[in-house]
Structure formats: structure tokens, C-alpha cells
């Protein structure tokens, strides 16, 4: 089933360089004027299938904001689905030494 995208330019809580937020069923994308800054693919129970932030925009809180959007939309705490990358483990605080 294909669903229309919900696109908004109202994003007071986002950095100034995010020009657009796209929400299609199971995917949230943060876009700049000329590229994708980051996106998350999630399940309805808050399970995170994939999260990506472009290198230029890392270490600025975008992944955390994407996870908060997932939690707000699903009403569930976001959690990682396996397999989890080393960066994903760091993001979710599930690092092993």
C-alpha cells in the first residue's frame, strides 16, 4: 500500500539547515536545500530498522531528533533492531567493550 508523504517546513526544533521534513509511512527524512541530511526507517512499535545521518551533519543531534520524532509518532520508545552497527550501538547506548 502506498501512502502520500506528509511534508512540512514547520520544524522549530530542528537546526536551521533543515529545509524540509518528509514523513512517509515508516520513514522520516530530514532534507537540506540540496541533499538528505538524515533519515530513519522504523516500525510501528518503535523498532528502528535503519538510521542514517550524512557525515557532514553528524555529531549535531540529528539522530537523536529523528528518534524523538519516531517516539512521538509511534507512542513507543525507539529501540534498535538487529543487526546493529557500532555507530548504532553507540547511539542507543548498547556498546560492548
CATH number at residue 23: 3.40.630.30
* Number of domains forming the structure of the chain: 1
Q: Which cell numbers in the block locate residue 29?
A: 527524512
Which pTM value belongs to this model? 0.83
Q: Does some domain include residue 97?
A: no
- The pLDDT assigned to 4 comes to 43
Q: Does some domain include residue 22?
A: yes
The residue-averaged pLDDT of 64-85 equals: 95
Give the domain range for residue 26. 6-92
Give me the long-range contacts of 20-23 (CB less than 8 A, separation at least 24).
21/69, 23/69, 23/73
Percentage of the chain surpassing pLDDT 70? 85
Bridge partner residues of 27 (DSSP): 24, 41
Amino acid at each position: 500500500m502506498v501512502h502520500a508523504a506528509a511534508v512540512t517546513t514547520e520544524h522549530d526544533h530542528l537546526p536551521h539547515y533543515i529545509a524540509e521534513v518528509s514523513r512517509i509511512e515508516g520513514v522520516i527524512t530530514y532534507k537540506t536545500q540540496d541533499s538528505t541530511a538524515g533519515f530513519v526507517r522504523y516500525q510501528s512499535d518503535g523498532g528502528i530498522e535503519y538510521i542514517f545521518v550524512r557525515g557532514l551533519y553528524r555529531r549535531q543531534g540529528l539522530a537523536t531528533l529523528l528518534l524523538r520524532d519516531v517516539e512521538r509518532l509511534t507512542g513507543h520508545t525507539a529501540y534498535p533492531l538487529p543487526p546493529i552497527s557500532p555507530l548504532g550501538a553507540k547511539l542507543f547506548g548498547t556498546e560492548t567493550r
